[in-house]
Structure 1
């Protein structure tokens, strides 16, 4: 078992090293886009399924409450959290519309939709991205290595440098934390 655990950590280190080497420009671009969104009075709408839904909630909390520094709350909504909305849309229409309808109801031109899907193929996320595009909402995507269907739908796409779902999810939350910290610093700290 020790060797098995060690091999997991070795894989994690390898993926993290690729992440560091390949990702700096896209992380800066995403943080810049979010900063501009907030400065224009826009908000983040964040969505995903399963672990990506949990990441959406985690990211929204970092912006609304705080990340590391004391600063004013920033407007971010995880559209994965309202069970009444999700179940009514799923029941009355279909599950693939649960994010689309929320983007349609809540999204404005100065906003950003941040879609998260390890495969890049989650149909409810893809439909939400298409709705955001129709509404002229900027789109950030987080996917795995090949990007899936999301690849051609995002203004900025972060692709985790692996196809292994647990490693994708670990990189996604690391990338999100870096983005949160960069936005804080761009708005209120070192880079303001």
Structure 2
């Protein structure tokens, strides 16, 4: 078996494990929370570091722009996107609170934080989740298998049953593409 086929088989096994875990109830709750927030003009704030920051950009791009339908833009902000805030706040106060500060600025009751961390232990993501909870926001966490320290801070946990970062990220992509598709369909009526 080639290295590529071996990797693809591992990826397929991880996706099968997600299906077996059956995150349907958690996904439905996540979709309902996001639809509720966006339909009321509240924000969906998305954060992550590294590859998960790229996922935050991807999600915001799909929901501000379009996923499958022509429709109005939704109030979705990828928190890693503002380089001025990240570098100014990180330089003056430390990187651990760069997302929490932006949650404070853009969040509020009825808004939603989608916090992405493959380990569930990223200090900047944990601080953002804590800030969101203080502000009566729903917290949706996308993590790896255990959920890490983010799990108890989350109202909804979408965890991929793997400890391998790239495999977790592939699972996250499938989960958030489904989330974007259904959110868009429901908001379009």
Indicate the TM-score class for this superposition, using the shorter chain for normalisation: over 0.9
Runs of 4 or more above 4 Å deviation: none
Q: Give the structure-2-normalised TM-score.
A: 0.96
**In the TM superposition, what is the alpha-carbon distance from 1:3 to its structure 2 partner?**
2.4
- Aligned partner of 2:148 in structure 1 is 148
Residue by residue, what CA displacement relative to the aligned partner does 1:127-174 show, whole Å, maximum 9, x if unpaired?
010011111111111000000000000111100111111010011011
Distance 1:124 1:99 in 2: 6
Distance 1:33 1:103 in 2: 17
5+ residue gaps, structure 2: none
Residue by residue, what CA displacement relative to the aligned partner does 1:105-137 show, whole Å, maximum 9, x if unpaired?
111112101110000000000001001111111
Matches within 5 A, 1:84-123: 84-123=84-123
Distance 1:187 1:100 in 2: 28
5+ residue gaps, structure 1: none
Distance 2:184 2:81 in 1: 24
Contact 1:97–1:127 (8 Å) recurs in 2: yes
Contact 1:28–1:182 (8 Å) recurs in 2: no
Contact 1:63–1:73 (8 Å) recurs in 2: yes
- Aligned partner of 1:18 in structure 2 is 17
Distance 1:25 1:80 in 2: 29
- Aligned partner of 1:27 in structure 2 is 27
**In the TM superposition, what is the alpha-carbon distance from 1:20 to its structure 2 partner?**
2.1
- Aligned partner of 2:2 in structure 1 is 3
Residue by residue, what CA displacement relative to the aligned partner does 1:46-73 show, whole Å, maximum 9, x if unpaired?
1000000000011001010110011111
Distance 2:27 2:167 in 1: 18
Distance 2:49 2:33 in 1: 23
Count of aligned pairs between the two proteins: 188
